[in-house]
C-alpha cells in the first residue's frame, strides 16, 4: 500500500474504530423483548437494594453501615444501566413505559442523568457511615425515582 493511500485511509480507520467504541450498548440485546426484560431486571435489582437502605434509614431495620454502603454501591452501579434498553424498537412492547419516553427523549435522558447524580451522592454518603446524612441522600434519590415514575411510568 502506498504511503499516500495509508495517509488517506488512517483517518477513516480511526473514525471507524471510534464508531465501534461508541456503539450503544443496545447491541447487547438479542431483540426488543430482551431489552425490556433487561431494563425491568435492572430496575428490580435497584429497587430491592434501594428499599433496603430505606428500611435502615427509616428505622424499619437496624442500621448496618457496611450493608448500606454495599446496597448504595449496587444502586449507583445499576442506575447507569436501564436507559440504553429504551430503544425505539421497544416502544410498542407491552410494559409500564409511557410513550412520553420516546416523545421527550432529551428530557428522559436528563432525568436519568439526574438519578445517576443522586445515586453517586447516595453511595458516597453511605461510605461515610453517617445514617442521618444517608437518610437525606436517600430522600433526594427517592425524589428522583419518583419524578421519573410520575412522568414516564404507568
Ligand atoms: C423505592 C423504590 C422506588 C422508589 C420510589 C421513590 O424504594 O422501589 O421505586 O423508592 O418509590 O418514590
Protein residue closest via CA to atom 12 of ligand 1: 146
pLDDT for the residue 107: 98
Q: Are 134 and 88 in contact (CB under 8 A)?
A: no
> Would you say the CB of residue 32 lies under 6 angstroms from ligand 1?
no
Cα(4) to centroid(ligand 1), Å: 59
Query: Within 10 Å of residue 83's Cβ, how many Cβ atoms?
Result: 21
The Å distance, Cα 90 to ligand 1 centre, comes to: 23
Is the Cβ–Cβ distance between 25 and 84 less than 8 Å? Answer: yes
Confidence (pTM)? 0.84
Pocket of ligand 1, candidates 60, 115, 144, 146: which has the most ligand atoms within 8 Å of its Cβ, to mutate?
146
pLDDT tens, per residue, the chain with 154 residues? 555 555 565 555 544 454 444 455 556 899 999 999 999 999 999 999 999 999 999 999 999 999 999 999 999 999 999 999 999 999 999 999 999 999 999 999 999 999 999 999 999 999 999 999 999 999 999 999 999 999 999 9
Homologous superfamily (CATH) for 30-152? Cytochrome c/b562 (1.20.120.10)
Domain boundaries defined on the chain: 30-152
Q: DSSP readout, 56-68?
A: HHTTSS---HHHH
**Taking a C-beta distance cutoff of 8 angstroms, is the pair 151, 102 a contact?**
no
Residue 153 phi, psi dihedral angles, 5° rounding: -125, 135
Q: Is 145 close to ligand 1, i.e. is its CB under 6 Å away? A: yes
- Say how many Å lie between the CA of residue 105 and the centre of ligand 1: 22
Beta-carbon count within 10 A of 36 CB: 20
State how far the alpha carbon of 1 is from the alpha carbons of 10, 13, 17, 38, 39, in Å.
12, 15, 20, 46, 47
Cα 87 to its chain centre, rounded Å, is 14
Amino acid at each position: 500500500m502506498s504511503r499516500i493511500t495509508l495517509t488517506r485511509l488512517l483517518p477513516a480507520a480511526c473514525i471507524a474504530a471510534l464508531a465501534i467504541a461508541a456503539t450503544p450498548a443496545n447491541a447487547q440485546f438479542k431483540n426488543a423483548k430482551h431489552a425490556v426484560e433487561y431494563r425491568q431486571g435492572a430496575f428490580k435489582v435497584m429497587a430491592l437494594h434501594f428499599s433496603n437502605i430505606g428500611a435502615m434509614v427509616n428505622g424499619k431495620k437496624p442500621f448496618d453501615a457496611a450493608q448500606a454502603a454495599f446496597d448504595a454501591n449496587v444502586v449507583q452501579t445499576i442506575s447507569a444501566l436501564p436507559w440504553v434498553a429504551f430503544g425505539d424498537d421497544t416502544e410498542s412492547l407491552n410494559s409500564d413505559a409511557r410513550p412520553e419516553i420516546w416523545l421527550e427523549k432529551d428530557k428522559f435522558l436528563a432525568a436519568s442523568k439526574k438519578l445517576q447524580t443522586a445515586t453517586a451522592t447516595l453511595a458516597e454518603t453511605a461510605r461515610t457511615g453517617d445514617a442521618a446524612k444517608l437518610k437525606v441522600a436517600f430522600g433526594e434519590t427517592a425524589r428522583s425515582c419518583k419524578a421519573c415514575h410520575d412522568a414516564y411510568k404507568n
